[in-house]
Structure 1
Amino acid sequence: MTVRQQSRYGGIASAPASGSTRWDVRRLNLPSPLWGSNGVAFGPDGRLYAAQFLAGQISAVDPATGDVETIVPMDGPVQSPDDLAFGADGSMYITDLVPGRVWRRSPQGDYHLVSDEVQVPNGITCIGDRLFVNEMRMNGRLLELFPESGGAPKVLTEGLALGNAMQLGPDGHLYYPHMVTGQVWRIPPDGGTPEVVAEDVHEPVAVRFDLGGVLMVLSRGRAGIVTRIDLHGTGSRSIVTSGLVGLDNAAFDTENRMFVSSFATGGITELHPDGRTREIVPRGLDGPFGVTVDPVGTVYAADHYRVAGPEHRAADGTDDVTTHVLRPFAHGIAADGGLLHLTSQYGEVTTYDPERGTTRVRATGLRRPTGIAVRPGGGLAVAETDAGRVLVLEGDGEGDEADKADEADHDTVTVLAEGLDHPVDVAYDAAGRCYVSDERRGAVLRIEAGRTVTVADGLDAPQGLAVLGDDLYVVETGARQLRAVSLTTGEHRIEAAELPVGLPPGTGPRTDPALFTHGMPGAPRQFAGLAGAPDGSLLLSANGEGTVLRLTPHGGATVHRAGAPGGEET
């Protein structure tokens, strides 16, 4: 179906790049029409509306064709929609998680602020003309809001351990999950004493009722578990394992078909009672952001909620790309032998061992670290974007990662360079010299003895960096092009143009929310990563369409990176 080639930019996805005379450019995975998918609800027109927290937009999906139309654009008043519900008059109510707002969008498309008094609003539901919202935080509240009168919110209960998607049950009670404690609770809409309905539920993220009144509890974990609970009789449970990574929400149509979303892989999928799935909107990458390749040619992408393998579809066919591990807020990534080093833009640097499934924390409390690179002499270099610094992290002997897994024995952190405007990515050449892209300065700098030397300036929002042989490559996300700079002659070349990086053309920058609101992380900044492969190709994060691009020299010729082994095309 042509839907598989739909672009986030609108219409059908075109070629991934143009203007390249030296490189063959191909996608390692298919474009994804959605930047993740969170709350879903059927609208009066019969389409399924999907909130996209990462994009800051809401799209309508035709369940028959899979066609996607943007309804609430990313440059509108809503910053980070996480859930939505429709009122009796057809109005759409939206929880705007990061700024802490609840919106009403009229059937005519007008926006009205319902409340800015809800902290981390997430789950939302309508009961006739009444509107209810809960908070995704510890000791959160469940509230009734009053869109018409504008009165103060009414608190039904407090003490929620991260609330999320909720719904009115057939018994007239509101049902909602406690994500932290693995419980499902209920409370009368007019208030009263809340009571536990189910305990020991696997990572509950949403509660939904089918048309027969059966309670469905979705799990946010990797296995895609849905727990069916019979509330009419014995309270017996049955488990459906869908394989859909990172379930977020669900909606039932008039034929009782269940459609689910995924915060981790996006897309919209019909989920049958026996666990079979039917793809409506393709799943794929939410970003991607950082990209790397290991010595044997395996490509990894940091995809905000996970580490993904864009070259390989999951073995069971339930996901467009392989999920290696759910890793919240993964942003930058660098392969180091059999290990993966990761930055979280919320302040953490970790090392993940895919073979053992263990994680070691290297540093915490950093100010939005982004790009990361392995230093030739050992240790890691990290671009600490919001602090304007490049850091060096060195562990105690870099010993057996299994012995250090999950320990808080942090690395020694030293400053390699400071006073930068907005450093985004770092890379090393064969001589061990460190380069950093400064997005706001529009430059690539070389760090020499704590000072910076300009290698290239006048660039348009440079981000991803890689060095192959004598050439330094940089992704200019403003101009949407790949530039090469000769480290010997200083010559500049445009290697590829019209790259699908950054936000759609003509879209203004989103308001940059705070890193944390009431302890919860906000939406990520865009980061178009770049990496050199052992065979002389380049891997580029095309975060504008949700793919990783491989750029291979024309004719299959290899351009061996100095100091790295050669290899065949993977």
Structure 2
Amino acid sequence: MTFPMRALALAGLFSLAPLALATSYSNPEVIVASSPFKGVHGLAVDKQGRLLAGSVVGNSIYQVDIDNGSVSTLIGPDDGQADDIAIGPNGEMAWTGFYSGRVLYRENDDAPIQVLATDLPGINSLDFNDKTGALYASQVFLGDALWEIDRNGQQPPRLIAKEMGGFNGFEVGADGWLYGPLWFKGQVVRINPADGEIKVISSEFKTPAAANFDSKGNLYAIDTFSGQLKLIDQSNGQARVVAQLDSALDNLALDAQDNIYVSNMANNRITRVNPQTGEARQIVGGELAVPAGLTLSEDGKTLYIADVFSLRAVDTASGKVTDLRRAHGSDAEYPINVGLGRERLLVTSFSTGTLQLISRSDNSTLAMVHHLNAPSAAVELDDGSILVSEMGTGKLLRLSGTDLSDRNDVLTGLQGPVQMIRAGDGMVYLTQMSGTLSRFNPATSELSSIAEGLRLPEGLAQLPDGRLLVAEPSAQRLLIIDPETGQSEVAAEHLPFGLKPGPGMPPTGIPTALAVDAEGHVYFASDIDNGLYRLTPQ
């Protein structure tokens, strides 16, 4: 499983000739340590006993050392994009490219990679029949269907069933039926691949994510909402909790000794569970998963992070991370950006088209606005209305009313708005993928250009002296731009961000955001290593 990020068109890029003068910053200081992956999803243990893990946003398949937790890349971008991984009866491997819509395959480590199927958006889980070698795959979130995939890639996939309810991480049983969860129905079922017949095994789940057998035929499943690993009695459907883990679980796999490995997308975590005792040991993990949007409290003590699979708060003095929301264990909907209102956090998700307003005082949800077109940022205006930038349409919308149901287009024709802030002068500043830094006057709806020819600008913040700080991830640098003259200078370069987006992702990939405190300290997250960093002005 992963989040359904939309593909968006990229406007033209231009070059920038910055001034020679540069503002000096310290080397990046680590506030929250880095971690591997970028959300970890599908797991498999191959015939060699290697633990393999897939990351869709990371666009790679990784090999994980079970003993020491070290991670190395087995298959990198762009063919490595994997939401799930399956090992065949002879050690062959297949995997699913969720965004690219492809099923990929190779016979062994030295064999070429083959594309077995294309044009299957949201292709998610897959598995082999160990007796016959047949390969099955399912679409979830961007589709809802189950297919048999031609192992030779010569014939189109055979449709087995559709509109099932999200047949996620499944496995082929000894009887040839497919056993797995219906994500949206809270059920674990089995499906006959011959005719698509569905039989319910258990309904004792909130949001089941994956199911697997051990060597004795015992059926285990995980509930991503509750964070529980359960053993299902297949005779009556009752499910017993084997281990209590954290929410945002995604997949599981078993080794030859029936140890169970569980992935958690919100912490880049893989946990090994002894099914006999329930003892759980973390093999690898991190405090942040895919940090994107940032905003800083007025006193500079708390940094809020839209971490895609969670919404988090970081104490800037200690680096302590606190979960505010976790994907699939709350009402969070894959947050990609977060803005600071007077009493509210403004959380946007361009993957689900959502704006969520959260109380800063008690962490309660105040409003949920759906059906936006890839909202990339939000700011609060003086009258309490919310200005939202839509990356999908190039619009600025003004949402007002008690439930924000009143929508007005205040501006159109933007070329891929990415980040947006409300500055001290009351103006709204925003970056566009076309290479433009713009100023918007909320009182008059007038838009003016401050600087053009930037290199895919993303993150944006205001410095204490009123100048603007802009991130150019593709150039791995920060620029300082005078909002009155448009003159720019390089503030810092060779920074650890600028990950190339994988197939099917927006040109921004994971947007790089910025935050600045009253003393001029700059905070940014790395889309390369998932760490949180601080720059100190010299």
TM-score (norm 2): 0.84
Name the counterpart of 1:104: 105
Name the counterpart of 1:277: 280
Output the amino acid matched with 1:423. P
SS at match of 1:160: coil
Name the counterpart of 1:480: 476
1:349 aligns with 2:355: yes
Structure 1 position 218, deviation (Å) = 0.6
Instruction: Give the 3 Å change call, closer, same or farther, for CA 82–417 of structure 1 in structure 2.
Output: same
- 1:447-471 CA deviation, whole Å, 9 max, x = no partner? 2443433323332211111113322
Structure 1 position 341, deviation (Å) = 0.7
For residues 419 and 190 of structure 1, the distance between their equivalents in structure 2, rounded to whole angstroms, comes to 51
The alignment-based identity, stated in percent, is 27
Structure 1 position 183, deviation (Å) = 1.0
For residues 502 and 145 of structure 1, the distance between their equivalents in structure 2, rounded to whole angstroms, comes to 35
1:455 aligns with 2:455: no
For residues 160 and 511 of structure 2, the distance between their equivalents in structure 1, rounded to whole angstroms, comes to 41
- 1:203-257 CA deviation, whole Å, 9 max, x = no partner? 1010012334322111112x411111233x7665321453333111111122222
SS at match of 1:295: coil
1:466 aligns with 2:466: no
Output the amino acid matched with 1:460. R
SS at match of 2:334: strand
**Could you tell me which of 151, 176, 199 is aligned with 2:180?**
176
Output the amino acid matched with 1:96. G
Instruction: Give the 3 Å change call, closer, same or farther, for CA 192–31 of structure 1 in structure 2.
Output: closer
Output the amino acid matched with 2:453. G
**Could you tell me which of 53, 58, 61 is aligned with 1:50?**
53
SS at match of 1:102: strand
Name the counterpart of 1:196: 200
Q: Gaps spanning 5+ residues in structure 2: where? A: 1-21, 327-331
Output the amino acid matched with 1:500. P
Deviates more, 1:89-98 or 1:244-253: 89-98
Greater RCO structure (CA 8 Å; 6+ sep): 2
Output the amino acid matched with 2:438. L
**Could you tell me which of 356, 378, 381 is aligned with 2:387?**
381
For residues 231 and 318 of structure 2, the distance between their equivalents in structure 1, rounded to whole angstroms, comes to 26
Name the counterpart of 1:5: none
Name the counterpart of 1:410: 404
For residues 118 and 337 of structure 1, the distance between their equivalents in structure 2, rounded to whole angstroms, comes to 44
- 1:5-31 CA deviation, whole Å, 9 max, x = no partner? xxxxxxxxxxxxxx9733463222111
1:432 aligns with 2:437: no
Note if contact 2:147-2:161 (Cα within 8 Å) is conserved in structure 1.
yes
RMSD (Å) for aligned C-alpha atoms: 3.1
1:334 aligns with 2:328: no
Instruction: Give the 3 Å change call, closer, same or farther, for CA 149–334 of structure 1 in structure 2.
Output: closer
Name the counterpart of 1:366: 372
For residues 159 and 375 of structure 1, the distance between their equivalents in structure 2, rounded to whole angstroms, comes to 42
Name the counterpart of 1:542: 526
1:249 aligns with 2:251: yes
SS at match of 1:27: strand
Instruction: Give the 3 Å change call, closer, same or farther, for CA 193–426 of structure 1 in structure 2.
Output: closer
- 1:392-432 CA deviation, whole Å, 9 max, x = no partner? 33334xxxxxxxxxxxx334333444322222111222221
For residues 174 and 329 of structure 1, the distance between their equivalents in structure 2, rounded to whole angstroms, comes to 29
Note if contact 2:57-2:502 (Cα within 8 Å) is conserved in structure 1.
no
For residues 338 and 397 of structure 2, the distance between their equivalents in structure 1, rounded to whole angstroms, comes to 15
For residues 337 and 203 of structure 2, the distance between their equivalents in structure 1, rounded to whole angstroms, comes to 37
Output the amino acid matched with 2:462. V
For residues 473 and 365 of structure 2, the distance between their equivalents in structure 1, rounded to whole angstroms, comes to 32
For residues 143 and 330 of structure 1, the distance between their equivalents in structure 2, rounded to whole angstroms, comes to 31
Name the counterpart of 1:528: 512
For residues 417 and 159 of structure 1, the distance between their equivalents in structure 2, rounded to whole angstroms, comes to 38
SS at match of 2:437: strand
TM-score (norm 1): 0.79
Name the counterpart of 1:83: 84
Structure 1 position 198, deviation (Å) = 0.9
Output the amino acid matched with 1:443. T
Note if contact 2:462-2:469 (Cα within 8 Å) is conserved in structure 1.
yes
Name the counterpart of 2:267: 265
Structure 1 position 118, deviation (Å) = 4.8
Instruction: Give the 3 Å change call, closer, same or farther, for CA 167–510 of structure 1 in structure 2.
Output: closer
Name the counterpart of 1:35: 38
Name the counterpart of 2:215: 211
Name the counterpart of 1:558: none
SS at match of 1:463: coil
Deviates more, 1:212-221 or 1:147-156: 147-156
For residues 195 and 318 of structure 2, the distance between their equivalents in structure 1, rounded to whole angstroms, comes to 45
Name the counterpart of 1:94: 95
SS at match of 1:329: coil
Note if contact 1:295-1:337 (Cα within 8 Å) is conserved in structure 2.
no
Deviates more, 1:483-492 or 1:471-480: 483-492
SS at match of 1:478: helix
1:293 aligns with 2:296: yes
